[in-house]
Structure 1
């Protein structure tokens, strides 16, 4: 009798566990079914010629191959969904030397100055979703006015921390979070978050954007790099269809940056008002931009990041203290001529009134040209080829002169 009861109890246990396993399997189905993965291949050659005879290094020239693997899971079923994302990055030296280092493609040994053969990073991000709000913890790549990751070399930079993004209210996106570490675009290490040579415990941020209508959006963000600086941003973007098939886009941005706490990076005092207006018709687009800085310091932004300003171009961002700069730009999409995938861009940026320790009237300018093609059909569909050429000149105490070429081949393979 006792034996019969044991068999019955065991069967009952199995019957009770089975529905739990089935429910768990169903709950986790969304994690796998809605997942996606990709592998991006990026081949990058950069040649930089320093035009001054007195330069310590005549040129910088490096060639590397980058691999960027991304995995993004779905969310488990239920009112609270869980998921996990992963990012793997590997950079391999194809050509470089100690006397041609410093392009930002490859890290080098501080003692020997010899570029490394390879560098890598693995980042994991746990995420939780409630309704239309998502919390992410781990490796982050924020694209916000006060915290913008850098993706202009072989591998993109990353940050470590936590971030909440909420879209529960139609038209409104809210962001808030805390960043504690940064991984630079040419590094395998995670450094303390900071600005310049100053380090901080954390960068805290909050803000959002609101689409008043399909044509008009406004935004506000606040960021605080603890004990270094605090920053406010206000932005407006407006798109307007005009008669005759023309389109006008207005993008206006304003930053107010001040010192915070013990001011580990020195006194921060900067106002940055910048904007761009673009007129498009068919394959043509003509843009004009300006940038006006005031205060006693340069415009601050996070190490490992980039400046969210309209005059951030291929090499320079024109954010020195008191600098005024303007830009003229022309884009053309050859799809209008029956050649889809082929695009052209050229621009000129001129900066004046730069104030440094050596001058109160520094000048600098940059001219960029981009020619790119993305294969549209066949076995190589999606392969991109890009040539970037630039010239940079400066004067009145700003001594860097550069001619540069970049050749970039990219291909992203969807794994599933």
Structure 2
């Protein structure tokens, strides 16, 4: 994918100038004592077996080592506090081959599309300015917003580039406003123009603008009580779609009987610039927790002329977004049953277990009389070392089984080892 060189170069020059000013201010104000840094080591083995006999590739299997260096400075003193953050990322190939590439762990060689590069990396810088209870960030960003959700499901995280203003000046109210102009995918080292995700049975046609240079967003989140909160966010991927997103969350304390968590989400997405985006999404997840056990039930419904719209490479904020699928295809209705257990109650702190089953149907398949159906079963078993020289070492096994009459059948296993070292 190519990006407009002039706009990209201009944005880079402006940002580098800001970072230069910021870095100078940070050093001169001697705020290093308020800074913190860490190094995360992330080792991932990924195996996805395609079960169809006619599949072009029988499986995707790779093994890689990731290094994530994070630095967050403090702020200068005075009415306007200035600081700088940095994110250094490096991915190293441990095992791959042209017949098994495509896991999303490693960057693909542009001259040899089936071959993974030996390594890839990037340095992301973020200038930040704080005024009272408002914070402006410029540069590399990892938002966790309903309309812009950074993806961190592989070796290295996906990031956006742009400006993001967040304010908590009014008690219990958080306001967000910003613009992103580029996206860096989880297996890439390049900032690229954004696209809308159109895979699966989304049936989305981008229209005149296949790529976009601007994702504009604004939103408000309010906590009505300690147990009740709601939010509204708006986003526009310039030339492709506009979206309104509503959430409502509630936590009910049942005393000795446990607790009940409710998570309701609704979104309306419409076209812009000649695309055909037209989607209404509703999702609800209810989780009952008592002692070490949690039981969850979820339902999700898509309606309209297309599936759910979001930026390609990021994540869609859906209650049925799970390990492989998000069940956000055109007209799809899906339900989820989930069970979690914390082994601390059995004298094994740090050990957790999760399993869930999702089923979707009524998917509109373009050019086919039948409706689409799919299901997914996931299992996670994780352990975090609680003490000793390996304290906080994390081990996780993730298993998924997917069956579909319109997409690939998949058996998948991921083995993940993580260890974070605080540097200061």
- TM-score if structure 1 supplies the norm length? 0.91
Aligned to 1:352, what secondary structure does the other structure show? strand
Give the Cα separation in 2 of the matches to 1:350 and 1:107: 32
Contact 1:208 1:221 in 2 (8 A): yes
Change in CA separation of 1:133 and 1:377 when aligned onto 2, cut-off 3 Å: same
The whole-number CA distance in structure 2 between the counterparts of 1:42 and 1:201 is: 32
Partner of 1:146: 147
Structure 2 match to 1:63:
63
Structure whose CA Rg is larger: 1
Question: Equivalent residue of 2:103, what SS?
Answer: coil
Question: Residue in 1 aligned with 2:178?
Answer: 177
The superposition leaves residues 371-391 of structure 1 with CA deviations (integer Å, 9 ceiling, x where unpaired) of 000000000000000000110
Distance 2:133 2:257 in 1: 36
Offset of residue 208 of structure 1: 1.5
C-alpha separation in 1, matches of 2:223 and 2:94: 46
Q: Pick one of 375, 385, 403 that aligns with 2:411.
A: 403
Secondary structure of 2:323 counterpart: coil
How many residues matched? 387
CA drift at 1:25: 9.2
Segment drifting more, 239-248 vs 282-291 = 239-248
Structure 1, residues 135-181: CA drift from partner, whole Å, max 9, x if none?
A: 00000001000000000000000010000010111111111100000
Distance in 2 (CA, whole Å) between partners of 1:362 and 1:27 is 61
Tell me if structure 1 keeps the 8 A contact 2:142–2:160.
Answer: yes
Corresponding position of 2:7: none
Indicate the residue corresponding to 1:212 in structure 2: 224
TM-score under structure 2 normalisation? 0.89
Give the Cα separation in 2 of the matches to 1:229 and 1:293.
16
- Aligned partner of residue 244 in structure 1, secondary structure: helix
How far 1:327 moved relative to its partner?
0.1
Task: Identify the residue that residue 342 of structure 1 maps to in structure 2.
Answer: 351
Match of 2:292 among 250, 265, 283: 283
- Alpha-carbon contact 1:182-1:303 (below 8 Å) kept: no
> Do structure 1's residue 47 and structure 2's residue 47 form an aligned pair?
yes
For structure 2, which runs of at least 5 residues remain unmatched after alignment?
A: 1-24, 198-205
Match of 1:21 in 2: none
What do the CA deviations read for 1:261-309 (whole angstroms, capped 9, x no partner)? x23xx30000000010000001000000010000011111112210101
For structure 1, which runs of at least 5 residues remain unmatched after alignment? 1-23
Q: Conserved in 2, the CA contact under 8 Å of 1:318 and 1:351?
A: yes
Matches within 5 A, 1:9-158: 28-29=29-30, 31-112=31-112, 113-158=114-159
Question: 1:170-249 to 2 correspondence within 5 Å?
Answer: 170-196=171-197, 198-249=210-261
In 2: Cα distance, 1:412 partner to 1:161 partner: 27
Q: Take 2:367 and 2:344, find their aligned partners in 1: how far apart are those partners?
A: 48
Partner of 1:381: 391
CA distance in structure 1 between the partners assigned to 2:326 and 2:27 by the alignment: 50
How many Å apart are 1:356 and its aligned residue? 2.0
- Residue deviations 1:307-356 (CA, integer Å, cap 9, x gap): 10110000110110000000000000111111110000000000000112
Per the TM alignment, residue 27 of structure 1 is displaced from its structure 2 partner at its CA by 7.4
Report the CA distance between 1:224 and its aligned residue. 0.3
| Of 276, 279, 296, the match for 2:305 | 296
CA deviation after TM superposition for structure 1 residue 245, in Å: 3.7
Greater alpha carbon shift after TM alignment, 107-116 vs 36-45: 107-116
The residue number in structure 2 matching 1:6 is none
